Homo-oligomer: A and B are copies of this chain.
Amino acid sequence: MQVSLADPRIERPKIFTHGCPTRVVLDHVMSRWGVLVLLALSEGTLRWGELRREVDGISEKMLASTLRTLEADGIVVRTSYPEVPPRVEYSLSPLGDELMQRMLPLVGWVAEHAEGIVERQA
């Protein structure tokens, strides 16, 4: 008797395999700084300097790295204006909008319950 690869009887219990696309993207958007940068951009377009000030504690290096990753993923759009002094704006792409529509409820829930969770540990 033959079984297909999609046969439920032989389906692996594993969530996602190591190195699969889902894990890669998950690592980008759910990273420490990725979440905060996306959260900031979900309220509207921001310039580099604004982003740096809004995401408290982020270093220039991590901001650059995070933005490059999210831009490569097509989640964030970078627009540079050929002016002097230079001006660069970052915003969510349509894909990023869809993503944040799902992430905001989660972050909102965490924000509401975080204090209670942390206090209970003391």
Contacts and interface: CB of A to CB of B under 8 A. Distances in A.
Interface of A: 13-18, 20-27, 29-32, 35-36, 39-40, 50, 53-57, 72-75, 95, 98-99, 102-103, 105-107, 109-111, 113-115, 117-121
A93 to B, nearest CB: 11
B16 A36 contact: yes
Nearest to A119: B21
A98 B18 CA distance: 27
Interface centre among A25, A39, A95, by most chain B C-beta atoms within 10 angstroms, is: A25
A74 B36 contact: no
Contacts of A35: 26, 30
Given A14-B54, A22-B114, A23-B36, 5 more contacts: A14-B56, A21-B114, A30-B30, A95-B113, A99-B106
Given A21-B115, A25-B114, A98-B109, A15 B103 contact: no
